[in-house]
Chains A and B, each alone.
Chain A
Amino acid sequence: MALWVEKHRPASLDKLTFHGDLTEHLKQLSSSGDLPHLLVYGPTGAGKRTRIAAILREIYGPGAEKLKVSQRMFETPSRRKLEINLISSNYHIEVNPSDAGIYDRVVIQDLIKEIAQTQQVATSSARKFKVVVVHEADALTRDAQHALRRTMEKYMGNMRVILCSTSTGKIISPVQSRCLLVRVAAPSIDDVVGVINSVAKKEGITVPGPFAQQLAVGSKRNLHRALLMLEAAYVKEYPFSDSHDIPLPEWELFIKDISRSALKSQTPAQLMAIRKQLYEVLTHCIPPTTILKTISTHLVDGVSEDLKPEIVHQAAFYEHHLQSGQKAIVHLEAFMAKFMSVYKRHQMASV
């Protein structure tokens, strides 16, 4: 009883449906017997991890799919204990060092070195090296990235690193230069529609063309989300009509509400109410950047033309602050306060 998005995930490079050139390229890489360090980057839901898994399978065979989760304890120099989840097969290990927060350097140093210093003994393995997959590599601190750069060269014989991130912006250039950059772009609308149709076919349901199109657009070309939305829509109501409502995630509706109330009235009391709502979304683990982006999109839709550039400018400004700050609420609130005062002033002037 798996979700469709998992059920119909292509397991091998052959079964990938879009980015044909890239697939071809990856095939050649993995069949060549050697593999460079990889830095796979691209937006979420584009298929980065699917491709990484496919590469691993291509290299090591089905054994790479037998995953297990384990927990490991790390000790920081300040004697603080960290628990990190590791996902591993016999051939590779996946870590998410950002779980360790600012101590990710310790994880990188201890774990990767340890693996790198250990030679692959299993005779059945096709390769001499093991692979370390580092997820959310853009969340690595600078220290951790520096710890990584020497390790990557030194233990090249035993280990390959695959970094997976949404952009290369936060990866320091020494690390970038040691990797082969693999960009996995978001699938085009047509790609997404194609995937939706093939899934629908396998599941034996019919998805009207316009609805599939709508899903692709509504998911913002995020394949994960498109398929999950399809399934959620299916659970809710079937058969689909042409103009079927696409089920937006609940947080998006919630945030839409926030922007609506900000547009409706601009008073200190309203700001207070908005703060409560913002807290609500934030505590439910929606990343603040997403919140700010969603709110500003809706706000821009709701204001007159001449105010739009101002709103976008402010959104960008507070987004920047948000990145260098710590308490997200403070920045979101400042943005909302700014919007309210600008909008109110604008309305007063136009009356």
Chain B
Amino acid sequence: MDYGSSGEEIDPSEFFGATSPKVKPKAKAKAAPKSKAAAKSDATSSAARPSGQPVALTEFGFPANELPTVAPKKFNYGMVNRSAGGSSDIPASVMPDGAPNCLEGLKFVVTGEFSDLTREQITDLIKSFGGQITSAVSGKTSYLVVGNDPGSSKVNKAKSLKTRCLYESNLMDMIRSTKPDAGSSVPETEPEPEPGNEPESEPELVITDEPVVKDEPVAKSKVKSAETQDRPAEAISKPASKQQSEVKTEPVSRPVPKPAPVSASSASSALAAAAQKTASTASQAQSQLWTEKYKPTKLKELCGHKTQAQEIMKWLSWWASGGIPEKRSVLISGPPGIGKTTTAHLAAKLSGFDVFELNASETRSKNTLKSMLGAAVSNRSVFEFDRKALNKLETEQEQENDRDVTEFATTSGAKKLVIIMDEVDGMSGGDRGGSAELIQLIKRSRVPIICICNDRMSPKVRSLANYCEDLRFRRPTEQQMRARLNTIAFREGLSIEANAIGQLVKSTHNDIRQVINLMSSYSLNKGSMNYLESKAFSTLNRKEVAIGPFDVIGKYMNGMENASMSFADKLDLYYNDFSITPLFVQENYIDNKPSAASDTCESLEALSKAADLIAEADIVDNKLRGSQQWGLMPLHAALSCVGPAYHVRGSHNGMYRFPLWLGQNSKGSKLSRYLKDVQSHMRLRVSADKTEIRKSYIPAMVPELIKPLADQGASGIPDVIAIMDHYYLSKDHWDAMIELHLDGEQMIKRIPTAVKSAFTREYKKVNHPVAFSGHAAGASAKAVQAASSASLRPDTEDYIDDDDDGLADDDDADDDGSQSGDTLENDDLIATKKPKASAKPKPSAKAKRGTADSASTPRKRKKT
């Protein structure tokens, strides 16, 4: 906590920074008209600089009212997009030399486009010299960095606040002005030193500063393990604070060797220094991960979650006092790497509980859980009883319980026990029944159980959550983590800039564990980290976080967010869920108000362009899935999401909708199934194909199927049934046809409800001709298979049979089913054609009927 600031003060790299906050950025300094030249002449005396320079830095540039007036204008996304997509590496030729952290304490706002660098690079540049970037001009803003086409609101605000402004060249001059003389030293955090500087500065550095360099944490190159082993003892005795105090004495004049390759001339001294440094931490660091080593041991060392930890402790104190809380378990949920497990362990430890942890590394099936925990949760702690009872209980336990638990129970001493079930959402596969058993255990537990999961909403956890106190952990903020990270960095001798920590935290999405791991692995190679390095390093180790489709669509459609992403970023978004993301784009692009369009005409053009791309994406998608050419996916991503989003990006009216296409598609396929069914039944009478049935027959027939009922009421029923029978249509087909008709729903309203139900009754009363011969579609799949293989055996008997049948009974199909059934009693297949069991395929509920039919068929057969 307090280490954070103290670390800054003594850390040499932050020396300038430590002094600068004292200087109010807006302070009217006496040295006001200090020019660039003056600053340079000053720079020769290094002692004077720390006090003098920041004052001068506030007086660079010119007052805002000298800026030309900027009329409000549309935001030029094209420009921003270009800059966003550009490479973020600042070319060495443009990179100004300057003292490290020379801009610390100053707040910058960047506006417009720049000629030499992109906006992002300017931002990086300022951050790398310790400056802070804010998005809007305020009273605290030190400088407005103005490029071409500056934003009108920023400029106006700056004018009203009289903020000082800088052009790109001013900024460069300002940074350069802080540069110490090339002869005296090279700033340690200079990211891209000009090659010319190195040779002249380096020899000096080695000669003059040898005694300090030896203790310099930055020079720690642990690679030299040979030396490390030779001299451990004396190094260990040297505590870190001592090193630091040494450093403190000579902070300014102490230059630092280049971090990475040690040049030949300085090799020997650097080696010696490295060996010493490494040895001091070797014994600990090599045996433990940083995350383990710096695990919080006190409540105040936690980063965030303090209230949650206190709640757990409160809950545990209930148990400790012998009571049983209403909820016998606590469910901790939150994203990975934020210290859930750590907090749980810490809370248990501080409350004086012993921890028994089960995590995904163990099998947690029903049986194992039962055997491992069953006894533990159901027994009062044995130590609550007196010695005599204890002995008795122990023998009993040993007989009936698993050995593990007994052992555990006995070795847990007088302490109470808490069970931590880690990673409960990972209980799957092998952990059959584990989740259910866990719930059972919780219900009757006499021991506190803490469950930990990532995804509170996963179905596995949801049922569990009902029995648990819900405790949600959020990602700790950068502020919460910063102090702790500074402490760790300091103890490990890694010097790290404030902005660099911010960058690491941001890139890992506030995953403190990962930040520590990143720092740990970084420290193996280098001893200090500045902003640019941290940015490069964290991009290498970027943490991919899957985001939901609604967030993805937001990122695509929102003008600002879209502009801030590079093409590659946008492509990556698609892969969050490549099957649904295009649908989301397709669903929502029309509702977006393209910010690039000034009138309806232009926005329609933007929409049309987007629609064209989506249509082309559909063709690609067809190829992609049809012929399994998954290599087309990037193209599909570009066409289906990135392109349309580019055209329509802007503001969105209302919420983003879930794609309708899915529902419409299934409705469409349902209706086309109906149509197929209707067609196959009408086929005996009608020669038309499906399309023709839909396009010509349904418009003509549906009125005939409805009108008599609507006009004549119940007396129209026979007419309708006559039509249906002629075409072998069932009542279900009647419904289906009306559904297929676009105005069907309107028309059916004209039929009185009484008539409708009378119609249904009437229809059920009489038997109806059946189009299908042979087996039924409604029978179970197995039966159908058997039947179909039988009926389609290349067996000529079947044909003869049917032929005879046809001759004997001329209009078989029109006849009553029972009559034909009588003449064919031997035929298994036709038996199912019997009146009521007539298993016409129903358009709906086919599957449901299936079981009922197959059950009833055997009975019917017996009757015949």
Residues of A within 8 A of B (CB): 1-3, 5-6, 9, 44-45, 49-50, 53, 63, 66-73, 81, 83, 85, 87, 90, 94, 96, 99, 114, 117-119, 121-122, 124, 135-136, 222, 224-225, 228-229, 231-232, 235-236, 247, 249-251, 254, 266-268, 271-272, 275, 279-287, 290, 318, 321, 324-327, 329-331, 333-334, 337-338, 340-341, 344-345, 348
**What are the residues of chain B within 8 A of A232 when measuring CB–CB?**
699-700, 703-704
Q: Which of B35-43, B377-385, B526-534, B675-683 contacts A (4 or more CB under 8 A)?
A: B675-683
Q: Once the chains bind, are B612 and A44 in contact (CB under 8 Å)? A: no
Say if the beta carbon of B774 comes within 8 Å of chain A: yes
B611-634 contacts to A (CB < 8 Å): 611-612, 614-619, 621-622
**Is B285 at the interface (CB under 8 A from chain A)?**
no
| Chain B 687-729 interface 0/1 with A at a Cβ cutoff of 8 Å (1 = within) | 1111110111101110110010000000000010011011100
Closest B residue to A283 using CB positions: B668
Q: Which residues of B contact A229 (CB under 8 A)?
A: 700
Nearest chain B residue, comparing its CB with the CB of A139: B689
Contact of A90 with B802 in the complex, beta carbons under 8 Å: yes
Chain B window 653-684, contacts with chain A (Cβ cutoff 8 Å), 1 for yes, 0 for no: 00000001100110110011001100011011
Verify A284–B671 contact, CB threshold 8 A.
yes
- Nearest B residue to A6, CB-CB: B685
- B773: CB under 8 A from chain A? yes
Q: CB distance A337 to B604 under 8 Å? A: yes
Nearest-Cβ distance from residue A6 to partner chain B, whole angstroms: 5
Query: Once the chains are docked, how many angstroms separate the CA of A66 from the CA of B741?
Result: 30
Q: Is B784 an interface residue (CB 8 A)?
A: yes
- Check A69–B680 contact: CB distance below 8 A: yes
Q: Do residues A228 and B699 form an inter-chain contact, with CB atoms below 8 A?
A: yes
Would A90 and B699 be within 8 Å (CB), given that A67-B684, A70-B773, A268-B591 are in contact?
A: no
Q: Is the CB of A251 within 8 A of B699?
A: yes
Inter-chain CA distance A272–B701, complex, in Å, is: 32
Does B590 sit at the interface, judged by CB under 8 A?
A: yes
Beyond A72-B792, A344-B600, is A225–B806 a contact (Cβ under 8 Å)?
no
Give chain B nearest CB distance to A87 CB in angstroms.
5
Any chain A CB within 8 A of the CB of B586?
yes
Residue B454 at the A interface, CB < 8 A? no
Instruction: Given A71-B775, A344-B604, A345-B601, verify A251-B742 contact (CB < 8 Å).
Output: yes
B29–chain A nearest beta-carbon distance, Å:
55
Q: In chain A, what residue has the closest Cβ to B680? A: A85
| B side interface size, CB within 8 A | 87
Complex Cα distance, B616 from A338, in Å, reads 14
B772 touches A71 (CB 8 A): yes
CB pair A72–B788 under 8 Å, yes or no, is yes
Contact B600 A266, beta carbon cutoff 8 Å? yes
- Shortest C-beta distance, B621 to chain A (Å), equals 6
In the bound assembly, the distance between CA atoms of A126 and B856 in angstroms comes to 42
For window 588-609 of B, CB contacts with A under 8 Å fall at: 590-591, 593, 600-601, 603-605, 607-608
The smallest C-beta distance from A229 to any residue of chain B, in angstroms, reads: 7
Extra A-B contacts (10), CB below 8 Å, given A90-B803, A271-B607, A285-B672? A9-B687, A69-B772, A70-B774, A85-B683, A268-B590, A275-B590, A280-B742, A282-B668, A327-B618, A334-B611
Query: Which of B615, B689, B696 is in CB contact (< 8 Å) with A96?
Result: B689
Q: Could you say which residues of chain B place their CB within 8 Å of the CB of A348?
A: 601
Give the number of A-B contacts (CB < 8 Å): 239
B796 on the interface (CB 8 Å rule)? Answer: yes
Contact B699 A249 (CB under 8 A): yes
Using a CB–CB distance below 8 Å, which chain B residues touch chain A?
A: 586, 590-591, 593, 600-601, 603-605, 607-608, 610-612, 614-619, 621-622, 660-661, 664-665, 667-668, 671-672, 675-676, 680-681, 683-692, 694-697, 699-701, 703-704, 707, 719, 722-723, 725-727, 740-743, 771-775, 777, 781, 784-785, 788-789, 791-792, 794, 796, 799-800, 802-803, 806, 812-813, 841
B residues less than 8 Å from A341 (CB atoms): 601, 604-605, 607-608
Q: List 5 A-B contacts (CB under 8 A).
A: A44-B688, A117-B794, A119-B796, A331-B615, A345-B605
CB < 8 Å neighbour of B742 from A121, A254, A333: A254
A291, B695: Cα distance in complex, Å: 11
A324/B622 in contact, CB under 8 A: yes
**Are the C-beta atoms of B703 and A53 separated by less than 8 Å?**
no
Closest 9 pairs between A and B when the two form their complex, measured CB to CB = A49-B687, A249-B699, A228-B700, A334-B611, A1-B722, A334-B615, A283-B668, A337-B608, A341-B604
Contact B615–A325 (Cβ < 8 Å): yes
Tell me how far the C-beta of B699 lies from the nearest C-beta in chain A, rounded to whole angstroms: 4
Please give me the residue from chain B that is nearest to A74 by CB atom.
B788
Complex Cα spacing A263 to B138, Å: 50
Q: Are A338 and B608 neighbours in the complex by a CB distance under 8 Å?
A: yes
Q: Complex Cα distance A101/B727, Å?
A: 26
From known contacts A266-B604, A284-B671, infer whether A250 and B688 are also in contact, taking CB-CB under 8 Å.
no
Q: Are B695 and A249 in contact (CB under 8 A)?
A: yes
- Give the chain B neighbours of A119 by CB distance below 8 A: 796
Residue of A with least CB distance to B776: A71
Partner of A324 from B619, B781, B784 at Cβ < 8 Å: B619
Would you call A71 and B608 a contact (CB within 8 A)? no
Contact B607–A268 (Cβ < 8 Å)? yes
A182 to chain B, nearest CB (A): 16
B661 to A327, Cβ gap below 8 A? Answer: yes
* Neighbouring B residues of A49 by C-beta, 8 Å: 687-688
Chain A residue at smallest Cβ distance from B739:
A284
Q: Which residues of A contact B661 (CB under 8 A)?
A: 327, 329
Determine the distance from Cα of A83 to Cα of B76 in the docked complex, in whole angstroms. Answer: 58
Give chain B residues whose Cβ lies under 8 Å from the Cβ of A279: 660, 664
What is the CB-to-nearest-CB distance from A1 to chain B, in angstroms, rounded to a whole number?
4
Task: Given the known inter-chain contacts A249-B695, A334-B615, please indicate yes or no for A2 contacting B685, CB distance below 8 A.
Answer: yes
Contacts of A326 in B (CB 8 A): 618-619, 621-622
Are B616 and A121 in contact, CB atoms less than 8 angstroms apart? no
Q: Which residues of B contact A71 (CB under 8 A)?
A: 772, 774-775, 777, 784, 788, 841
Distance between B805 CB and nearest chain A CB, rounded to angstroms:
10
- Evaluate contact between B590 and A331: CB separation under 8 angstroms: no
Residues of A within 8 Å of B660, CB to CB, are: 279
Contact A325 B618, CB 8 Å, known A266-B600, A334-B612: yes
Residue of A nearest to B613 (CB): A334
A281–B590 CA distance with the chains assembled, in angstroms: 20
Output the nearest chain A residue to B702 by Cβ-Cβ distance: A250
In the complex the two chains form, what is the Cα distance from A53 to B813 in whole Å? 19
Closest to A86 in B: B792
Residue of A nearest to B813 (CB): A68
A322 to chain B, nearest CB (A): 8
